[in-house]
Amino acid sequence: MKTTARLFKALSDETRLRILALLKGGELCVCDLMAVLDLPQSTVSRHLAYLRNGGLVEDRRQGVWMFYRLAPETTPLGRDLLALLGERLDDLPQGRQDRDALLRLGPSQNRAGCR
């Protein structure tokens, strides 16, 4: 039951839902998330910690940069919720705006401060 509670806690915030929608497109650097969400690194990292603790995202370090992706091995409930959210979040105006903002940024290796 604690795992389920952590999962729902991770999903109970608009910023975390926005992060999940962005990660649906693949792995992103924290700097990508900061730019799209227009939030400081500390805030983005705190939200990513909630998602990691909920078993929804995985991270990897490359030098000083942290990259995040959706966790492939989550619980059956987590997989079902991520699939449903993946279908619905892009339909919301904020989801479309975030996706468009990420596309405008271009590849992260072309920006100062990433990779």
Tell whether the model's pLDDT for residue 74 goes beyond 90.
no
Q: Could you tell me the two tokens for 115? A: 């990779």
Give CA–CA dist 10/104, Å, rounded. Answer: 28
Q: Could you tell me the two tokens for 40? A: 């400081």
- For residue range 84-101, what is the model confidence (pLDDT) as tens digits? 888 888 788 888 899 889
Percentage of residues in the chain with pLDDT exceeding 70? 92
All domains in the chain, ordered by first residue:
2-106 (1.10.10.10)
